[in-house]
Copies of this chain bind each other. A is one copy, B any other.
Amino acid sequence: MDKSAHLFLENQLCFPIYATSRLITRLYKPYLNEIGLTYPQYLVMMVLWQEDSIKVSAIGDQLLLNTNTITPLLKTMKQKGLLQKIKSTTDERVTVIELTKSGQDLKIKAAEIPQKMQYDSQIPSEELDQLRTGMWKMLKYLQE
């Protein structure tokens, strides 16, 4: 068997996942723009809506991100007034993240996004086709 056959894009699972991930971010972007969030910021908010007042590292554990990515994210989100950073009194190394009122309220608007997307016909059909193709390739591989 030719080893280099592995090197074609269609023969690998990695590329469809990489491409699909970017396509999903693109689909979310217009809806997240309306509520002033980027996709990674939206993920951080989902963690905080589920469990408020948690350590920086606890956010990273859920999102599989390191502090060198999360710290700058939290910095801009604090500037937007979504959250505040509080030094733990029991352990001075720990920073606890708490949502502000504004951050909590955003959950209501965010909750409408999945429904909006589902029934929104304004999503370019080309993008949806690419997403379907990517999903299909992933499914094909995962089922083998």
Question: How many copies altogether?
Answer: 2
Assembled-state Cα–Cα distance A20/B106 (Å): 27
Q: Which residues of chain B come closer than 8 Å to A21, judged between CB atoms?
A: 17-18, 20-21
Interface stretch (choices A7-15, A74-82, A84-92)? A7-15
How many A residues touch the partner, as a band? 35 or more
Q: Which residues of chain B come closer than 8 Å to A139, judged between CB atoms?
A: 139, 142-143
Task: State how many angstroms separate the Cβ of A132 from the closest Cβ of chain B.
Answer: 11
User: Any chain B CB within 8 A of the CB of A125?
Assistant: no
Contact of B138 with A62 in the complex, beta carbons under 8 Å: no
User: Any chain B CB within 8 A of the CB of A101?
Assistant: no
Q: With A28-B14, A138-B142 as given contacts, are A22 and B64 in contact (CB-CB < 8 Å)?
A: yes
Query: What are 17 residue pairs bridging A and B, where the CB atoms are less than 8 Å apart in the complex?
Result: A3-B115, A4-B108, A7-B46, A7-B49, A9-B43, A9-B63, A14-B24, A14-B28, A17-B17, A17-B20, A18-B24, A18-B43, A19-B63, A20-B21, A21-B21, A139-B143, A142-B142
By a beta-carbon cutoff of 8 Å, the part of chain A in contact with chain B is: 3-4, 6-9, 12, 14-15, 17-25, 28, 39, 43, 46-47, 49-50, 62-64, 107-108, 110-112, 114-115, 130, 135, 138-139, 142-143
